[in-house]
Structure 1
Amino acid sequence: MTAVPQERRVVTAIPGPKSQELQARRNATVAAGVGSVLPVFTTRAGGGIIEDVDGNRLIDFGSGIAVTSVGASAEAVVRRASAQLAEFTHSCFMVTPYEGYVEVCEALAELTPGDHAKKSALFNSGAEAVENAVKIARAYTKRQAVVVFDHGYHGRTNLTMALTSKNMPYKNGFGPFAPEVYRVPVAYGYRWPSGPENAGAEASAQAIDMINKQIGADNVAAIIIEPVLGEGGFIEPAKGFLPAVAQFAKDNGIVFVADEIQSGFCRTGQWFACENEGIVPDLITTAKGIAGGLPLSAVTGRAEIMDAAHSGGLGGTYGGNPVACAGALGSIETMKELDLNAKARRIEEIMKARLTAIQEKYDIVGDVRGRGAMIAVELVKPGGKDPNPEATAALAKACHSVGLLVLTCGTYGNVLRFLPPLVIGEDLLNEGLDLLEQAFAGV
């Protein structure tokens, strides 16, 4: 395995001729519903760089959507997964089990918040984890209703589409959706009518009132929330909101589920984002950053809740695949060894200083927010808070053309989100921010 040189290099237009050739082949055989942010075809990646078929090297501010936090070819992930690959690729844990699965569950019990007895079940994708968290909560409470929040994103399966709040592109034309799902307000500080300082108390009171009046707390199996809302725009619920909702769940026998699929595993400068306000969820769902790019997800939680589902009620052919489990153990090893929580906090320090300076200069930047290496800017029309998706798209395009990969998000499509690998060098991070500044100047 040769290390990818950690320097940006633009040798062709982006996408280049070889990528365009592959794009033509792709268009002929890949379903049109599968999109790509930037159609450059990757040949190798690692650290803070993605290299394409034309020899361009892009600075990576996306991490495959918060997946390759340890880099896309981390030594420990490659070493452990390769060793496992040579032993066996699959036996199905539900047929003949293996130690790797158990080791991952032990690591999750150690790392997730709370000192209660914990158990886990492993799956393939974030959506699968969320769906299984609902199954487990319903089995435990013998209730049906599930409460989710404005701007929340939880996946693309039928149930998780119902849980997700954004219609395009996730839900449009794909209904009907699963029933007994209810949506309540979240404390979106930047857009809260009476200001961010009131959002936590007011939004939690509103949400709780709606649950009591419209559903009845006794009918609610689970309340599911991302401690930092990802796809909805990297919204950090205003202080006090999460503790109030978690307490309400506790008082009413409702399973409180933290969806940490995007925010977990050192992304926000803590192992899990819910630790920021001392929240100890009953269940926590993880995926993305857990296995260094291999498909793995988990539901971890209080042993008595996790054990509520009958034997055979949880599982899946590939759930907790041995190679993915090996990757996860390599990923966790890397996170501990390199103290990637500290790295994430350092990335925040650098990025927020630079982005705040951009905000002071350009009135289209309404808000700079996020924690750790999960940072965003919300773009608005000058003179107010009207969303500015056009500027967002133009900025992303300008960044892409000079070899900086950035992603957008937000319910209104007006948020630039930054998810650099936690192992990115500070020189590359700063160079990426220089390119972003130039893009702002141009747009």
Structure 2
Amino acid sequence: MFDNLSDRLEATFTKLSGQATINEVNIGIAMRDIKRALISADVNYKVVKKFVEEVRAKSLGEGVVKSVSPAQMIVKIVNDELVELMGGEHKPLDLNGSRIPAVVMVAGLQGSGKTTFCAKLARRLKKNGRHPLLVAADVYRPAAVEQLKTLGGQVDVPVYAIDEQDALKVALEGVEEARKTARDVVIVDTAGRLQVDEAMMVEAETLKEKLGPDEILFVVDAMIGQEAVNTAKIFNERLDFDGVVLTKLDGDARGGAALSIKQVVDKPIKFMSVGEKPDDLDLFYPDRMAQRILGMGDIVSFVEKAQETLDLEKTQEMQSRLLKNEFDLNDFYDQLQQLKKMGSIQGLVEMVPGLNKMIPKQDLEGLDFGPIEAIICSMTKDEKHRPEIINGSRRQRIARGSGTSVQDVNMLLKQFKEMKKMMGSVTRMTKSGRKIMPQNLNLDKLLKK
């Protein structure tokens, strides 16, 4: 996400780092580079022009702090302007009206990830104590209803559907079903459009009029760049939606839609989808996203995600075992399972300040925990607890049982031994108040097999 833009902005700031003062010349060069970086990221040209003008004016204004370096000052100004560009502050979903159930209407083009988002939203609301009902009002695409039923089963949320091609009837009956079954939120999945189709737009307008939804969310695929912004503009003119959901951000290295859409339609981005799993849905915070674009990470989101997904009791138990030097392959396996719950490894790395610079992106692509899990699962209870007893014949048996090679087993055991040693050092030095820089672990070769 935003990889190319981040790299180009970093190169611009690096050029400024050797400058003693801010002046018209070096700011002019920096603004030219930033402008090119934003355009290459597929940001709307008018948005780019306004953004660069604002940064230039503030960089040369009277409020510039003379005691800091040009690079530091520009980073601060660019960060502030990026935050403003993406909406300033997080705008939450507003479901606190007096009506029960609250109604969320979801609209968007076909293929944007709309139906998947509905299930992810239901999952998030359920985790927050709500009782959602999914309503299959996409009555034209043959597989849409079945897809929603499947996704609803995965997140353990009921789906209301009837065998009729009348979206309004389905939606209204769905709301009534929610009242009968004590569901406090209805999420209506409307028909996706292959393009901005007049008949479909009229149907969406009718749904809005009759349902009176508390929130209308427009789902857009970030991968389609400027077309996402153009589509959002047309939908907003007809529906006056309340917020935007950006999907497939994990696959978009440019990010132009995220930087353009708020300025073009003047509606906040409320959610971003960064993967295919039910939990791969994050709230959109402009300030945190600006920090990630500038390579500063997003440690707040990282901690929040950890708190949501990690088993605190297991984590504390693991820390205790580390202190006693009892950390074994069972603990390692448990940690892998918890890590997988937190989402994509690349997304997690981007959140930790500086870590994305320590671990090249190519080392994260195609990572697969499968071989490691298979090797550990092929061990006996005693072998997991005491890896040092695993001799040559045991390694051959484990390799056969896991569908891997003896070399793979050797690599895992070697890396686990090094990791355990490093973790013990970190734990001891943390207790003594000293700090150390952990060594790079090289599990990527095994992960990528």
TM-score, with length taken from structure 2? 0.30
Which of structures 1 and 2 has the bigger CA Rg?
2
Bigger share in helix: 2
Bigger share in strand: 1
With a CA cutoff of 8 Å and minimum separation of 6, indicate the structure with the bigger relative contact order. 1
